[in-house]
């Protein structure tokens, strides 16, 4: 980890990153996406792409906004992040990709095969490093930031409730 990253992170960000399993990432002011992540060396690693989670625009972004939750389940800190894409074959990829693959839940096959698939299919392994300017405590928005559900091609049909017996009417 570089000295610049160490100076940019506050103790709250450091602690939240260490405990993170899920983060909400927004790119270019767009909607935030909940993403599975892995903390490593004061940064978060996120894998996205074919067969993995969807993170629109993250792979090509230079910056993003990351929100993390605390032990109580609520938002505790939002911080700007420097986004770095780790490329297959690089030293960083060779170090980080197997660690991320080993922690990937419900992965089909061994982690070495998963890493090879990520490289072959063009999946993005990105590092989100804290930059200066974290927002926490009283500086966080007081109101709800809940949004309407986004449109999706995945739809579950609503069926009539099942009844075991006939209901008599009076």
Q: Which of these, 125, 105, 126, 128, lies nearest to 115 by C-alpha position? A: 125
Q: Determine the pLDDT at residue 3.
A: 41
Q: Determine the pLDDT at residue 6.
A: 42
Q: Determine the pLDDT at residue 141.
A: 74
Q: Determine the pLDDT at residue 9.
A: 67
Between the alpha carbon of residue 40 and those of residues 1, 43, 45, 92, the distances in Å are 10, 5, 7, 12
Q: Which residues contact 68 (CB under 8 A, 6 or more apart)?
A: 13, 16, 17, 20, 23, 24, 75, 76, 77, 78
Between the alpha carbon of residue 64 and those of residues 12, 67, 72, 90, 106, the distances in Å are 18, 10, 24, 23, 27
SS3 assignment, position 86: strand
Mean pLDDT computed over every residue of the chain = 85
Q: Determine the pLDDT at residue 4.
A: 42
d(CA 31, CA 148): 11
Q: Determine the pLDDT at residue 5.
A: 40
d(CA 78, CA 90): 30
Maximum alpha-carbon separation in the chain: 78
Dihedral of alpha carbons 52, 57, 61, 67, sign: negative
Q: Which of these, 160, 110, 128, lies nearest to 9 by C-alpha position? A: 128
Q: Determine the pLDDT at residue 8.
A: 59
Q: Determine the pLDDT at residue 53.
A: 92
pLDDT 10s digits, 18-29: 999 999 999 998
d(CA 87, CA 113): 17
Dihedral of alpha carbons 60, 61, 65, 71, sign: positive
Query: For the whole model, what pTM was predicted?
Result: 0.79
Q: Determine the pLDDT at residue 1.
A: 42
Q: Determine the pLDDT at residue 100.
A: 95
Dihedral of alpha carbons 124, 130, 133, 138, sign: positive
Per run of 10 residues, the mean pLDDT along the chain (length 170 residues) is: 50 89 93 93 94 92 92 84 95 95 88 94 95 78 75 74 72
């Amino acid at each position: 980890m570089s000295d610049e990253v160490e100076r940019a992170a506050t103790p709250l960000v450091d602690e939240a990153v260490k405990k993170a399993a899920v983060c909400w990432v927004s790119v270019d002011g767009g909607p935030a996406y909940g993403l599975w992540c892995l903390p490593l060396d004061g940064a978060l690693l996120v894998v996205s792409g074919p067969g993995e989670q969807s993170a629109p625009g993250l792979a090509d972004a230079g910056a993003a906004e990351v929100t993390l939750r605390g032990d109580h389940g609520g938002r505790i800190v939002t911080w700007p992040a420097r986004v770095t894409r780790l490329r297959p074959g690089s030293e960083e990829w060779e170090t980080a990709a197997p660690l991320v693959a080993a922690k990937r839940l419900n992965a089909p096959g061994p982690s070495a095969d998963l890493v090879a698939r990520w490289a072959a299919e063009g999946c993005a392994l990105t590092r989100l490093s804290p930059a200066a300017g974290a927002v926490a405590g009283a500086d966080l928005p007081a109101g709800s930031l809940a949004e309407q559900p986004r449109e999706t091609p995945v739809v579950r049909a609503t069926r009539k409730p099942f009844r075991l017996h006939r209901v008599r009417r009076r």
